[in-house]
Amino acid sequence: MSRIDGRTPEELRPITIERGWSKHAEGSVLISFGDTKVFCTASFTEGVPRWRKGSGEGWVTAEYSMLPRSTNTRGDREAVRGKIGGRTHEISRLIGRSLRAVIDYKALGENTVVLDCDVLQADGGTRTAAITGAYVALADAITWAQGKKLIKHGRKPLIGTVSAVSVGIVDGTPLLDLCYEEDVRAETDMNVVCTGDGRFVEVQGTAEAEPFDRKELNALLDLATSGCVDLSAIQQAALARTLGE
Amino acid sequence: MSRIDGRTPEELRPITIERGWSKHAEGSVLISFGDTKVFCTASFTEGVPRWRKGSGEGWVTAEYSMLPRSTNTRGDREAVRGKIGGRTHEISRLIGRSLRAVIDYKALGENTVVLDCDVLQADGGTRTAAITGAYVALADAITWAQGKKLIKHGRKPLIGTVSAVSVGIVDGTPLLDLCYEEDVRAETDMNVVCTGDGRFVEVQGTAEAEPFDRKELNALLDLATSGCVDLSAIQQAALARTLGE
Amino acid sequence: MSRIDGRTPEELRPITIERGWSKHAEGSVLISFGDTKVFCTASFTEGVPRWRKGSGEGWVTAEYSMLPRSTNTRGDREAVRGKIGGRTHEISRLIGRSLRAVIDYKALGENTVVLDCDVLQADGGTRTAAITGAYVALADAITWAQGKKLIKHGRKPLIGTVSAVSVGIVDGTPLLDLCYEEDVRAETDMNVVCTGDGRFVEVQGTAEAEPFDRKELNALLDLATSGCVDLSAIQQAALARTLGE
Amino acid sequence: MSRIDGRTPEELRPITIERGWSKHAEGSVLISFGDTKVFCTASFTEGVPRWRKGSGEGWVTAEYSMLPRSTNTRGDREAVRGKIGGRTHEISRLIGRSLRAVIDYKALGENTVVLDCDVLQADGGTRTAAITGAYVALADAITWAQGKKLIKHGRKPLIGTVSAVSVGIVDGTPLLDLCYEEDVRAETDMNVVCTGDGRFVEVQGTAEAEPFDRKELNALLDLATSGCVDLSAIQQAALARTLGE
Amino acid sequence: MSRIDGRTPEELRPITIERGWSKHAEGSVLISFGDTKVFCTASFTEGVPRWRKGSGEGWVTAEYSMLPRSTNTRGDREAVRGKIGGRTHEISRLIGRSLRAVIDYKALGENTVVLDCDVLQADGGTRTAAITGAYVALADAITWAQGKKLIKHGRKPLIGTVSAVSVGIVDGTPLLDLCYEEDVRAETDMNVVCTGDGRFVEVQGTAEAEPFDRKELNALLDLATSGCVDLSAIQQAALARTLGE
Amino acid sequence: MSRIDGRTPEELRPITIERGWSKHAEGSVLISFGDTKVFCTASFTEGVPRWRKGSGEGWVTAEYSMLPRSTNTRGDREAVRGKIGGRTHEISRLIGRSLRAVIDYKALGENTVVLDCDVLQADGGTRTAAITGAYVALADAITWAQGKKLIKHGRKPLIGTVSAVSVGIVDGTPLLDLCYEEDVRAETDMNVVCTGDGRFVEVQGTAEAEPFDRKELNALLDLATSGCVDLSAIQQAALARTLGE
């Protein structure tokens, strides 16, 4: 009893991570979770926002956006409407929190990294792809800064790894890494952000139709944890390649 | 080993629910979770937003806001800044989703209920107080509409009850219903929205410092589920009183 | 020949002033003019806006807002619309000017007081209730600052008292303190802000239908002056009570 | 003991009204109160705003604005800042109310007149010049509409005349029609809008320093009433000239 | 075969330049190209924007706007809509670039000139009239600053003259200085900004219907160059008059 | 005497056009002009904006934007700032006009095509790459619509081809297709939009330093015309390939 695209319930879509996709950014990644493609850049700058000056600590923040025609029907540009929608705000904040969970601000020093995650093509799971890709871009930006001596010798601002995946219950079956068509039909939808050692950074579950019980919640958490282990390995493999290959 | 305010770890703050707090709104409640006070109104109007016209189904939505001096330090008014912040957006969306989870749109018919949750005084847990209070205001608005024959005879738009509570780990101990001072010190912070029958509508857990493991997650879910059972009873008791008493 | 609510033409609605309504604000009041309820907070902060720095003088400003469902029909939130309406702007400015009329900026020193007046329930006269309540909150905030030695010993920033009331001509009869239903039917509508010694801070009269003549203007000014004498006494009585009683 | 510009206390500045200043607008006037110059256009269009459709009644509204360099120091453009300031809002509303006071909506029929009052040069009294000039532009627009048969035969939408003037107390002396330098020094500042028959449409008095007493208020009202009589005569003389002369 | 208004194809409309039209601005001009009237002010202030501080160089910028009823049909105010339209942005930038082309920033020193070009009446060619008038206002502002010793002795910030004109192909014939009616019918529309010595500062040609070929382009450039020679002479004649005559 | 990147003055950078880059859009292209990469989508929808309804004619419009880190230094997101900058507005309008020049609105019928041009990486010439790529996306969208019978049989909405290139004078030498480093140093900068048959749709030349004379203008036009001939061939070759290869 296979899924729309032939996967088993506990199978990720094909994941690809291309590093060095921008010649300008200190870290940059084009990540795909199946047909979902997100372009993640990490911009490293010296200095911190005003409220953090003199603290000796750095800052990491994120902005998420969808290109107008990344979806099946064209959406209005938020810049044209003059305001950012609630969903965009919510996801930008989630990405920022997730990445900050693996940062040692003291080790980063008074430097800022801005992660821009722009969805080029959406097919479900854009926020989880964004977090997973942004981690790799962030790692590259920190390596760059270490090479430039912008981070003190011996300091390691990155204290863990982080990846994310969506899970959901569709027609009563818990599924890993939902594509758009599955997402629309899911009774329960959950996004889970894990560290490489299997602990949780964020757990966000929503009943789209019927409320879910503890047993269903447990099944979803099992699936997500296992998916994040795989994503973590894919991230490490990507980072192990020489940039430019 | 008691808490700042002398509670045990699994104890709610004093909860009060005053119904009929507005002479204009179809449902209105002043809810307190200790020193957190949220004014919730439910505005019932005939008709639905344009995208839903002709569907025969209703709509429920929510807006959350904090008065500028509901907090210890005065915050800027979002109306003056001309834009709504990410946190406000996020919470408004959470409240809306939580209440929609117990609505039968067909039974509601082409009517709209807008829930306004304005924080008069904040001391942690404003979003969970807002959800818990908004449910009572919504119930009153629906009763009002039934009295006015705006809902078809025999239809029951409200298909369950919903309440919410925060839980968190402070100094290694899982605590129920955090006040502000505890919230600031929490390593992990979770907001849980449950139906009266103990199932989940929303689970949102965030690692503020260290990632949390499955055991900690389970402890928090246990606490929250039990807290929501109590909140549900308090809601029912409030609704059982005659309005105006 | 009595009014809608049984009052005589020169009678105020029941006025109540509850101080200490917020645990955060330096001064806070819930004021009622009949069914009109306004929550006024006074936020005292050290420092002044940039354009006033180094002047040795303080500043007092005000922001007025109506909760969306403070009125019979729900109004849009100005924060959601992204702009402040003309009426809100006009009333905020009026409140600020009225309170500044009784402030000695030099005695206040380089400190700022922001008065937030949020209408919880509206039934006519929201701006006059706001001014009358904001004065009490302001007085409490200044007493607080004196206690904290934020104002130099012996300095008295408050050089008078101020209250406000609406008057209008309804069916040819001048009436004091109009409720909403009277306000809608008024041919002429006037808001008068007076000091405790019976002088004028603001006089704003508007012909809603027929222009008004000098005789009518005089009758309205007489009514308003006398109403403000009563309001001033109510303010003093409120301030005479020990906070917390 | 004469004024800055040699006038007596009860003397208006030189007033000029040039009609037909725009080839596009249905009514247009360049009005000067001394060095204050306001360009007023009246745009007549068939139809009314949505909320008034089907009522058989017309609508009149106004927008006021200052060119950035109409003042001594250049001000930011409100369009560039993306929001309208409180003062602009307040004055636009005052102009609209003042002109609506002399309109019979039924006679106007479902037509709209928008009055644009743009200050080209400011030297005090811009709002009163705007009202006085807008009246003449409005009268011309209505005559134009009558000529085009857009108003039913025999209907007279204009049921009175309206003009406005500022008065104030400077160094203890009540003065008529303050220029900027006087306005800055005024202890009390009042704007009065009168009909041609000497009744009041708006009275807005503000204590800029000391509160004012009833006697001072009376002196100011006397001055303003007399000033409006003169302005009304100047308006009638302007309207008596053939357009284009 | 003459034009709508009787001109020959290579004839400008009557051009008038009135200097000293504002008592506040350091330079000010009311310029007419036939029925197109633009009010141009040059505001000279000491200091430069933050990004230019310490450079020893000045800055010149421009803002263009149309009064709502400068056109045949009233347009919305951009301040009311809360955003500046694309056309306004485009023209403001064009005016700024055009004037900066004749400025020596070093000679200007750390001073800023803002050119405000407000269209009082539009009949085609508003941007070219704005540039031509702004040049004269700018020249007057610089003369004023030299008189006030705000520019170092012997320094000449103005290194050339600049004027602008529109050209277009209407019914196959290249025409100089299009009025609105011609502009609407033009197949190709071009705005050309020239220095007094006949060189180009800006060339902006647009095919409104059919693309244009090199021969047509050449004919338009010939017309424009010759028109700018005439405009330059008119500017010099205006500047040769004593201010106030 | 070669250029920074070794090209001759009249040589384009390597141009690549990848079609079918989005699975959602009716037409989509990733175009590169050297290191400048622009993602262009064409969204075809039935229906037209309100002002065009019932005309029987279609509409084509464009929106241009740069990703925040498409440039060397990260720029603010316009959505976050809440307003669109002048440069963005100007380029969006240019792209729209350029593409409309080759559209027969009648043949298109009441359908709309929106062209989104998002710059993924910028190295000079982003607007010309956008126009050149958008043409290909537009052609694909129209072919798609013809296949879906959304365009009447036999109608050809595309009446020509269009491409664009920048030219400029750097150190006295006219150069084709400037990269960023050349663009910054250019004395004169021109963007030229041509049809496939060598005629002009837009010519926008700007003196960045010294004004330019007719001879220089002619040299630039020669270069640009020839560059557009090459670009047109590259477009045709791209369109000749089967989509998906």
Instruction: Tell me: pLDDT of D242 over 70.
Output: yes
Mean pLDDT of chain E: 95
What confidence tier does C245 reach under pLDDT thresholds 50, 70, 90? low
Q: Chain C partners of D197 at a C-beta cutoff of 8 Å?
A: 211
What confidence tier does A47 reach under pLDDT thresholds 50, 70, 90? very high
With an 8 Å Cβ cutoff, the interface of chain A facing chain B consists of: 83-87, 89-90, 92-93, 97, 101, 160, 190, 194-195, 197-207, 210-214, 217, 221, 225
Provide the residue type at E131 as one letter: I
| Percent above pLDDT 70 for chain B | 99
Q: Is C206–D160 a contact, with Cβ atoms under 8 angstroms apart?
A: no
Q: Is E69–D120 a contact, with Cβ atoms under 8 angstroms apart?
A: no
Reading the block at residue A191, the tokens are 């996004």
* Distance to chain D for C201, nearest Cα, Å: 5
Comparing C-alpha atoms, which of A122, A71, A121 is closest to residue F21?
A121
Question: Is B6 annotated for ligand binding?
Answer: no
pLDDT one-digit tens code per residue, B230-245: 999 999 999 999 886 5
Instruction: Tell me: pLDDT of A245 over 60.
Output: no
Mean pLDDT of chain B: 95
* Res D197: pLDDT: 86
Q: Is E69–D116 a contact, with Cβ atoms under 8 angstroms apart?
A: yes
For residues F126 and F132, the answer to whether their CB atoms sit within 8 Å is no
Comparing C-alpha atoms, which of C48, C44, C243 is closest to residue C138?
C44
Identify the three-state secondary structure at position B119.
Answer: strand
Question: Best mutation site among D97, D98, D214, D221 for testing chain C: the one with the most C CBs within 10 Å?
Answer: D214
Question: Best mutation site among B89, B93, B105, B213 for testing chain A: the one with the most A CBs within 10 Å?
Answer: B89
F197 to E212, E221, F217, F220, F228: CA distances (angstroms): 11, 21, 20, 18, 10
What confidence tier does A242 reach under pLDDT thresholds 50, 70, 90? confident
* Res E209: pLDDT: 82
* Res F245: pLDDT: 55
What confidence tier does E68 reach under pLDDT thresholds 50, 70, 90? very high
Residues of F forming the annotated binding site? 87, 125-127
pLDDT one-digit tens code per residue, B54-79: 999 999 999 999 999 999 999 999 99
Instruction: List, for chain F, all residue ranges whose pLDDT scores fall below the cut of 70.
Output: 1, 244-245
E-assigned strand segments in B36-94: 36-46, 59-66
* Res F231: pLDDT: 98
Average pLDDT score over residue span B213-233: 97
Instruction: Tell me: pLDDT of A1 over 70.
Output: no
* Res D65: pLDDT: 97
E-assigned strand segments in chain F: 15-19, 27-33, 36-46, 59-66, 111-121, 162-170, 173-176, 188-195, 200-207
* Res D244: pLDDT: 65
Distance CA D135, CA D156 (A): 15
Comparing C-alpha atoms, which of C145, C131, C154 is closest to residue C232?
C131
pLDDT one-digit tens code per residue, F195-224: 988 899 999 999 988 899 999 999 999 999
Please tell me what DSSP assigns to residue F5: T
What confidence tier does E245 reach under pLDDT thresholds 50, 70, 90? low
Question: Is E87 annotated for ligand binding?
Answer: yes
What confidence tier does B209 reach under pLDDT thresholds 50, 70, 90? confident
pLDDT one-digit tens code per residue, C75-132: 999 998 888 999 999 999 999 999 999 999 999 999 999 999 999 999 999 999 999 9
Q: Is D93–C83 a contact, with Cβ atoms under 8 angstroms apart?
A: no
- Cα A129 to the chain's mean position, in Å? 5
For residues C103 and C58, the answer to whether their CB atoms sit within 8 Å is yes
Question: Best mutation site among A169, A201, A216, A228 for testing chain B: the one with the most B CBs within 10 Å?
Answer: A201
Which residues are bridge partners to D142 per DSSP?
none
Distance CA E95, CA E115 (A): 9
| E contact chains, 3+ CB pairs < 8 A | D, F
**Burial profile B75-106: b = 16 or more Cβ within 10 angstroms, e = fewer:** bebbbbebbbbbebbbbbbbbbbbbbbbbebe
For residues E38 and E120, the answer to whether their CB atoms sit within 8 Å is yes
| Percent above pLDDT 90 for chain E | 93
Residues of D forming the annotated binding site? 87, 125-127
Give the position of tokens 């005016």.
Answer: E95
Compare CB distances from A79 to F22, F70, F84 and report the shortest one's residue.
F84
Instruction: Tell me: pLDDT of D1 over 80.
Output: no
Q: Is C101–D202 a contact, with Cβ atoms under 8 angstroms apart?
A: no
* Res C208: pLDDT: 85
What confidence tier does B198 reach under pLDDT thresholds 50, 70, 90? confident
* Res B1: pLDDT: 56
pLDDT one-digit tens code per residue, D15-48: 999 999 999 999 999 999 999 999 999 999 999 9
Please tell me what DSSP assigns to residue F181: H
Q: Chain A partners of B228 at a C-beta cutoff of 8 Å?
A: none
pLDDT one-digit tens code per residue, B5-35: 999 999 999 999 999 999 999 999 999 999 9
For residues E31 and E38, the answer to whether their CB atoms sit within 8 Å is yes
For residues E206 and F202, the answer to whether their CB atoms sit within 8 Å is yes
What confidence tier does B210 reach under pLDDT thresholds 50, 70, 90? confident
Identify the three-state secondary structure at position F52.
Answer: helix
Provide the residue type at A107 as one letter: A
Distance CA B70, CA B119 (A): 7
* Res E25: pLDDT: 98
User: Which chain D residue has the Cα nearest residue E89?
Assistant: D80
Mean pLDDT of chain C: 95
Instruction: Tell me: pLDDT of A244 over 70.
Output: no
Question: Best mutation site among E189, E201, E222 for testing chain F: the one with the most F CBs within 10 Å?
Answer: E201
User: Which chain A residue has the Cα nearest residue F44?
Assistant: A74
pLDDT one-digit tens code per residue, D146-160: 999 999 999 999 999
Distance CA B140, CA B163 (A): 15
| C contact chains, 3+ CB pairs < 8 A | B, D
**Number of neighbours of residue C5 by Cβ within 10 angstroms:** 14
Q: Is A65–F79 a contact, with Cβ atoms under 8 angstroms apart?
A: yes
pTM for the whole thing? 0.93
Average pLDDT score over residue span B101-126: 97
Please tell me what DSSP assigns to residue D76: P
* Residue F203, C-beta contacts closer than 8 angstroms, at least 6 positions apart: E190, E203, E204, E205, E217, F190, F192, F193, F221
* Res F33: pLDDT: 98
Identify the three-state secondary structure at position D39.
Answer: strand
B212 to B46, B161, B184, E8, E172: CA distances (angstroms): 46, 30, 17, 83, 76
Average pLDDT score over residue span C27-48: 98
* Distance to chain C for D170, nearest Cα, Å: 16
More confident site: D81 or E19: E19
For residues F70 and F117, the answer to whether their CB atoms sit within 8 Å is no
| F contact chains, 3+ CB pairs < 8 A | A, E
Instruction: Tell me: pLDDT of E1 over 80.
Output: no
Mean pLDDT of chain D: 95
For residues A183 and A168, the answer to whether their CB atoms sit within 8 Å is yes
Crossing angle of helices A214-240/A126-147, nearest 10°? 40
For residues C116 and C40, the answer to whether their CB atoms sit within 8 Å is yes
Which residues are bridge partners to B44 per DSSP?
B113
